[in-house]
Protein backbone atom coordinates (compact mmCIF):
# COMPACT_ATOMS: atom_id res chain seq x y z
CA UNK A 1 0.00 0.00 0.00
CA UNK A 2 2.89 2.38 0.76
CA UNK A 3 4.23 2.23 -2.80
CA UNK A 4 0.87 2.77 -4.55
CA UNK A 5 0.71 6.25 -6.02
CA UNK A 6 -2.50 8.19 -5.45
CA UNK A 7 -4.29 10.08 -8.22
CA UNK A 8 -2.71 13.35 -9.30
CA UNK A 9 -4.96 16.24 -8.25
CA UNK A 10 -4.80 19.59 -9.99
CA UNK A 11 -7.17 21.99 -8.18
CA UNK A 12 -6.33 24.78 -10.64
CA UNK A 13 -7.22 22.67 -13.70
CA UNK A 14 -10.43 23.56 -15.60
CA UNK A 15 -13.50 22.33 -13.74
CA UNK A 16 -15.34 19.36 -15.19
CA UNK A 17 -18.27 17.95 -13.18
CA UNK A 18 -20.73 15.80 -15.16
CA UNK A 19 -24.20 16.11 -13.63
CA UNK A 20 -25.93 12.85 -12.71
CA UNK A 21 -29.01 14.05 -10.80
CA UNK A 22 -31.00 17.27 -10.46
CA UNK A 23 -33.59 18.16 -7.83
CA UNK A 24 -35.18 21.05 -5.94
CA UNK A 25 -34.25 21.78 -2.32
CA UNK A 26 -34.49 25.46 -1.46
CA UNK A 27 -33.27 26.08 -4.99
CA UNK A 28 -31.69 24.00 -7.73
CA UNK A 29 -29.33 21.24 -6.56
CA UNK A 30 -27.14 19.11 -8.85
CA UNK A 31 -25.17 15.97 -8.04
CA UNK A 32 -22.02 14.63 -9.63
CA UNK A 33 -18.35 13.75 -9.33
CA UNK A 34 -15.63 16.34 -9.88
CA UNK A 35 -13.51 14.81 -12.66
CA UNK A 36 -11.16 17.80 -12.98
CA UNK A 37 -10.40 20.96 -11.04
CA UNK A 38 -12.22 22.09 -7.91
CA UNK A 39 -15.32 24.00 -6.73
CA UNK A 40 -15.48 26.76 -4.16
CA UNK A 41 -18.55 28.31 -2.56
CA UNK A 42 -19.49 31.63 -4.18
CA UNK A 43 -17.72 30.96 -7.50
CA UNK A 44 -19.42 31.65 -10.85
CA UNK A 45 -19.51 28.73 -13.32
CA UNK A 46 -21.16 27.71 -16.58
CA UNK A 47 -23.35 24.70 -17.36
CA UNK A 48 -22.83 23.21 -20.80
CA UNK A 49 -24.13 22.66 -23.41
CA UNK A 50 -26.90 25.19 -22.70
CA UNK A 51 -24.31 27.86 -21.72
CA UNK A 52 -26.17 28.83 -18.54
CA UNK A 53 -24.19 31.00 -16.13
CA UNK A 54 -24.71 30.01 -12.48
CA UNK A 55 -23.33 30.74 -9.03
CA UNK A 56 -22.45 28.16 -6.38
CA UNK A 57 -24.27 28.98 -3.17
CA UNK A 58 -23.71 25.75 -1.17
CA UNK A 59 -21.59 22.59 -1.43
CA UNK A 60 -22.27 19.26 0.32
CA UNK A 61 -20.10 16.13 0.35
CA UNK A 62 -20.70 12.41 0.87
CA UNK A 63 -24.23 12.68 -0.54
CA UNK A 64 -25.58 14.16 2.69
CA UNK A 65 -27.08 17.63 2.94
CA UNK A 66 -25.75 17.88 6.51
CA UNK A 67 -22.10 17.74 5.37
CA UNK A 68 -21.75 21.33 4.19
CA UNK A 69 -18.30 22.48 3.02
CA UNK A 70 -16.91 25.56 1.33
CA UNK A 71 -14.56 23.70 -1.05
CA UNK A 72 -14.46 20.39 -2.94
CA UNK A 73 -11.64 18.84 -4.96
CA UNK A 74 -11.19 16.43 -7.87
CA UNK A 75 -12.50 12.93 -7.19
CA UNK A 76 -15.18 13.99 -4.71
CA UNK A 77 -18.87 13.16 -5.16
CA UNK A 78 -20.83 16.25 -4.17
CA UNK A 79 -24.13 18.07 -4.23
CA UNK A 80 -24.07 21.71 -5.32
CA UNK A 81 -26.85 24.26 -4.83
CA UNK A 82 -26.90 26.75 -7.70
CA UNK A 83 -28.50 30.13 -8.24
CA UNK A 84 -29.39 31.59 -11.63
CA UNK A 85 -31.01 28.51 -13.14
CA UNK A 86 -34.12 26.35 -12.73
CA UNK A 87 -33.90 22.59 -12.33
CA UNK A 88 -36.04 22.13 -15.45
CA UNK A 89 -33.24 23.69 -17.53
CA UNK A 90 -30.68 20.99 -16.59
CA UNK A 91 -30.47 17.38 -17.76
CA UNK A 92 -28.27 14.47 -16.66
CA UNK A 93 -25.14 14.57 -18.80
CA UNK A 94 -24.83 18.35 -18.67
CA UNK A 95 -21.46 19.43 -17.29
CA UNK A 96 -20.66 22.09 -14.71
CA UNK A 97 -17.44 23.74 -15.85
CA UNK A 98 -15.15 26.74 -15.70
CA UNK A 99 -16.28 29.91 -17.48
CA UNK A 100 -12.75 30.64 -18.73
CA UNK A 101 -12.33 27.17 -20.27
CA UNK A 102 -15.73 25.45 -20.62
CA UNK A 103 -16.18 21.85 -21.61
CA UNK A 104 -16.53 21.18 -25.34
CA UNK A 105 -20.04 20.64 -26.76
CA UNK A 106 -20.23 18.75 -30.07
CA UNK A 107 -22.48 16.52 -32.12
CA UNK A 108 -19.73 14.82 -34.18
CA UNK A 109 -16.31 13.49 -33.21
CA UNK A 110 -13.62 11.04 -34.32
CA UNK A 111 -12.90 7.99 -32.19
CA UNK A 112 -10.78 4.89 -31.94
CA UNK A 113 -12.95 1.83 -31.39
CA UNK A 114 -12.22 -1.71 -30.30
CA UNK A 115 -15.06 -3.87 -31.62
CA UNK A 116 -15.80 -6.54 -29.02
CA UNK A 117 -18.57 -8.74 -30.38
CA UNK A 118 -21.26 -7.62 -32.79
CA UNK A 119 -24.76 -8.99 -32.62
CA UNK A 120 -25.48 -11.93 -34.88
CA UNK A 121 -25.62 -10.99 -38.59
CA UNK A 122 -24.73 -7.35 -37.80
CA UNK A 123 -22.31 -5.42 -40.02
CA UNK A 124 -20.29 -2.54 -38.57
CA UNK A 125 -20.23 0.05 -41.33
CA UNK A 126 -21.34 3.60 -42.07
CA UNK A 127 -24.95 3.93 -40.89
CA UNK A 128 -24.53 1.53 -37.95
CA UNK A 129 -26.52 2.78 -34.93
CA UNK A 130 -25.98 2.10 -31.25
CA UNK A 131 -26.36 3.68 -27.81
CA UNK A 132 -23.41 5.77 -26.66
CA UNK A 133 -22.54 5.67 -22.94
CA UNK A 134 -20.02 8.33 -21.89
CA UNK A 135 -19.73 9.65 -18.30
CA UNK A 136 -23.39 10.37 -17.36
CA UNK A 137 -24.62 10.62 -20.98
CA UNK A 138 -26.74 7.98 -22.69
CA UNK A 139 -27.41 9.02 -26.28
CA UNK A 140 -28.29 7.31 -29.56
CA UNK A 141 -25.47 7.62 -32.09
CA UNK A 142 -24.65 6.71 -35.68
CA UNK A 143 -21.37 5.76 -37.34
CA UNK A 144 -20.94 8.37 -40.07
CA UNK A 145 -17.76 7.07 -41.68
CA UNK A 146 -15.06 4.44 -41.22
CA UNK A 147 -11.75 6.28 -41.55
CA UNK A 148 -9.03 3.67 -41.02
CA UNK A 149 -8.63 0.16 -39.75
CA UNK A 150 -5.67 -0.50 -37.45
CA UNK A 151 -3.58 -3.62 -37.92
CA UNK A 152 -4.00 -5.62 -34.68
CA UNK A 153 -0.42 -6.95 -34.87
CA UNK A 154 1.57 -3.79 -35.70
CA UNK A 155 -0.98 -1.22 -34.39
CA UNK A 156 -0.31 0.73 -37.61
CA UNK A 157 -3.31 2.22 -39.51
CA UNK A 158 -3.95 0.59 -42.88
CA UNK A 159 -3.88 2.88 -45.89
CA UNK A 160 -7.25 2.02 -47.45
CA UNK A 161 -10.42 2.96 -45.50
CA UNK A 162 -12.54 -0.15 -44.86
CA UNK A 163 -16.12 -0.53 -46.05
CA UNK A 164 -16.94 -2.58 -42.95
CA UNK A 165 -15.21 -4.33 -40.02
CA UNK A 166 -15.90 -7.44 -37.99
CA UNK A 167 -15.76 -8.38 -34.31
CA UNK A 168 -12.27 -7.93 -32.87
CA UNK A 169 -11.30 -5.10 -35.20
CA UNK A 170 -9.72 -1.80 -34.15
CA UNK A 171 -10.96 1.07 -36.26
CA UNK A 172 -10.89 4.85 -36.46
CA UNK A 173 -14.33 6.20 -37.27
CA UNK A 174 -16.58 9.23 -37.04
CA UNK A 175 -19.63 9.28 -34.75
CA UNK A 176 -22.65 11.59 -34.85
CA UNK A 177 -25.31 12.18 -32.19
CA UNK A 178 -28.61 14.03 -32.54
CA UNK A 179 -28.02 16.56 -29.76
CA UNK A 180 -25.03 18.54 -28.57
CA UNK A 181 -23.22 16.59 -25.85
CA UNK A 182 -20.34 17.54 -23.54
CA UNK A 183 -17.25 15.43 -24.18
CA UNK A 184 -13.49 15.90 -24.43
CA UNK A 185 -10.55 14.26 -26.16
CA UNK A 186 -9.28 11.28 -24.17
CA UNK A 187 -5.78 12.78 -24.19
CA UNK A 188 -7.06 15.93 -22.43
CA UNK A 189 -9.70 14.58 -20.02
CA UNK A 190 -9.78 10.74 -19.96
CA UNK A 191 -12.94 10.58 -17.82
CA UNK A 192 -14.87 12.55 -20.46
CA UNK A 193 -13.22 10.87 -23.43
CA UNK A 194 -13.74 7.13 -22.91
CA UNK A 195 -17.01 5.41 -23.77
CA UNK A 196 -18.87 2.24 -24.68
CA UNK A 197 -21.29 1.44 -27.48
CA UNK A 198 -24.19 -0.80 -26.55
CA UNK A 199 -26.94 -2.41 -28.57
CA UNK A 200 -29.87 -4.47 -27.33
CA UNK A 201 -28.35 -4.49 -23.84
CA UNK A 202 -24.96 -5.76 -24.99
CA UNK A 203 -21.64 -3.88 -25.10
CA UNK A 204 -20.46 -4.16 -28.71
CA UNK A 205 -17.48 -1.77 -28.59
CA UNK A 206 -15.31 0.35 -26.32
CA UNK A 207 -13.49 3.43 -27.45
CA UNK A 208 -11.85 6.79 -26.86
CA UNK A 209 -12.36 10.18 -28.48
CA UNK A 210 -9.33 11.32 -30.48
CA UNK A 211 -10.65 14.47 -32.20
CA UNK A 212 -13.55 16.89 -31.83
CA UNK A 213 -15.49 18.97 -34.34
CA UNK A 214 -18.78 20.88 -34.67
CA UNK A 215 -17.89 22.84 -31.56
CA UNK A 216 -20.75 24.93 -30.15
Q: Which fold is adopted by the domain 104-213?
A: Elongation Factor Tu (Ef-tu); domain 3 (2.40.30)
| pLDDT of 67 | 85
Domains 16-97 and 104-213 fall in the same CATH topology? yes
- Rounded to whole angstroms, the Cα distance separating 14 from 16 reads 6
| pLDDT of 122 | 86
pTM: 0.88
* Ranges of each domain in the chain: 16-97, 104-213
| pLDDT of 5 | 46
| pLDDT of 66 | 73
- Rounded to whole angstroms, the Cα distance separating 201 from 167 reads 17
| CATH number corresponding to 16-97 | 2.40.30.10
List beta partners, residue 174: 110, 145
- Rounded to whole angstroms, the Cα distance separating 69 from 56 reads 12
Per-residue pLDDT 10s for the chain (216 aa) are: 554 544 555 667 899 999 999 999 889 999 999 999 999 999 999 999 999 999 999 999 875 667 899 999 999 999 999 999 999 999 999 999 999 999 999 999 999 999 999 988 888 999 999 999 999 999 999 999 999 999 877 778 888 888 999 998 999 999 999 999 999 999 999 999 999 999 999 999 999 999 997 555
Amino acid sequence: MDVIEGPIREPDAPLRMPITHIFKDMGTVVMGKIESGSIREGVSLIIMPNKAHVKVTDIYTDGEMENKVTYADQGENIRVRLSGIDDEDILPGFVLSSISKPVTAVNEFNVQLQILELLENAIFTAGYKAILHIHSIVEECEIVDLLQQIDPQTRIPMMKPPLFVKSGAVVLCRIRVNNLICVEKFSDFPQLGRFTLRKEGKTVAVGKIIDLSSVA
